[in-house]
Homo-oligomer: A and B are copies of this chain.
Amino acid sequence: MDATLQKYIDKLNALNFKEMYEGDFFLTWDKSDDELEAVFTVADALRYMRENNISTKIFESGLGISLFRDNSTRTRFSFASACNLLGLEVQDLDEGKSQIAHGETVRETANMISFMADVIGIRDDMYIGKGHTYQKEVAEAVTQGHKDGVLEQKPTLINLQCDIDHPTQCMADMLHIIHHFGGVENLKGKKIAMTWAYSPSYGKPLSVPQGVIGLMSRFGMDVVLAHPEGYEVMPEVEEVAKANAAKTGGSFTKTNSMAEAFKDADIVYPKSWAPFAAMEKRTNLYAEGDADGIKALEKELLAQNADHKDWCCTEELMKTTKDGKALYLHCLPADINDVSCKDGEVEASVFDRYRTPLYKEASYKPYIIAAMIFLAKVKDPQTTLKALEERGIARWFQK
């Protein structure tokens, strides 16, 4: 047995993640520390095997259904890559091309697309109070369909971003942090600043900052959430972060000063988002079909944003971080000053310096998704990883 792979298996042997089998992945705070650790470990193992030309296809056939209710490049390709790595063919449910009847229940659509679906990945992040609920409904529908004998297998639901959390993004961010600092054990006491930043666009989802404070607060770090007044995130998620911090000996604090957040930070994550209250209002306006109200709100929000153009990740601010070289994170694409817009989230020179680490950060996402699927689909991951190595099918055949 390959020594590195054995190391991953040993790591898994020490963890309890039995409940993940046949499960779904909605929010990181639904999962135990062991379960998250299992995801990181399987992600590393799958990447290691691919790098060493060992096929990890566990499906000879089967579909991975994707449903994107918002545009996507990174997550779309990450999901497609993860499915492909495990042997599933992606079939996109394009609601435009579909004959989904007015009033057709979620339960019906979910079953109709799932006869041979092993996985369903959904991005639905636009409206507060909707995305997560919809994902839950789909998961319940197919669980019921499986029980009723309609579906031969229960498809696993993977949250590819909802109104509350963006677990595949934040877990990828976290795996990047872990590798950057040489292991989870080195994170205790590190300071991470999740801060708002100015963007000329409006209505960016809250799932990234919420996902970050909900996840990063579990590793004994000092998590600071910074934003101008009025850019609050969902209070429930702040409660999650507080509770996490209390349990792990870290801290969760809030500030309205970007400078304070950056001061001595080991990690900074400056990123724009819309105020939670405004997003709630927008959701209601859409529900009421109030086009004038939506336009007025948009104008108001853009004006509000413009009051905070000084919330930018500048070279000057970066100098105030730990040794002047905090790890800069972003989920991409970033609004870069004088590149994508006049004033944005980050100065071009800062972004450029971190380009390679940022791309590496993104490169973990396909493996995080694949690991989530693997753990939901394989009853005994350790034995199966070993069996895949023994099977010895090359991913890339050449002599």
Residues of A within 8 A of B (CB): 47, 50-51, 55-63, 65, 68, 70-74, 76-78, 80-81, 84-85, 87, 89-91, 93, 97-105, 107-109, 111-113, 115-116, 118, 145, 148-153, 332-336, 339-341, 355-356, 359-360, 362-363, 365-366, 377-380, 383-384, 386-388, 391, 393-399
Contact = CB atoms under 8 A, between A and B. Distances in A.
Nearest to A394: B60
Contacts of A107: 355
Contacts of A100: 73, 333
A54 to B, nearest CB: 10
Contacts of A84: 61-63, 89, 116
Given A89-B84, A91-B77, A359-B150, A60 B71 contact: no
Nearest to A56: B61
A379 B397 CA distance: 11
A339 B104 CA distance: 8
A366 B341 CA distance: 42
A384 B399 CA distance: 5
B398 A57 contact: no
The complex is assembled from copies of this chain, and their number is 3
Contact of A398 (B89, B103, B378): B378
A361 to B, nearest CB: 10
A271 B63 CA distance: 31
B152 A51 contact: yes
Given A87-B61, A359-B145, A366-B115, A341 B102 contact: yes
Nearest to A58: B397
Contacts of A56: 61
A109 B57 CA distance: 27
Given A80-B63, A341-B102, A97 B85 contact: no
A148 B112 contact: no
Contacts of A363: 115, 150-151
Contacts of A91: 77, 80, 90
A399 B111 CA distance: 28
B115 A98 contact: no
A81 B152 CA distance: 13
Contacts of A386: 399
A118 B103 CA distance: 37
Contacts of A387: 397, 399
A89 to B, nearest CB: 5
20 contacts: A57-B397, A59-B395, A59-B397, A61-B395, A62-B396, A72-B99, A76-B98, A78-B115, A80-B91, A84-B116, A103-B336, A103-B340, A104-B333, A105-B339, A112-B359, A115-B365, A116-B366, A148-B356, A377-B398, A391-B397
A99 B116 contact: no
A397 to B, nearest CB: 5
Contacts of A57: 60-61, 397
B341 A113 contact: no
Given A115-B366, A356-B150, A60 B380 contact: no
Given A51-B152, A149-B360, A359-B145, A60 B335 contact: no
Nearest to A381: B398
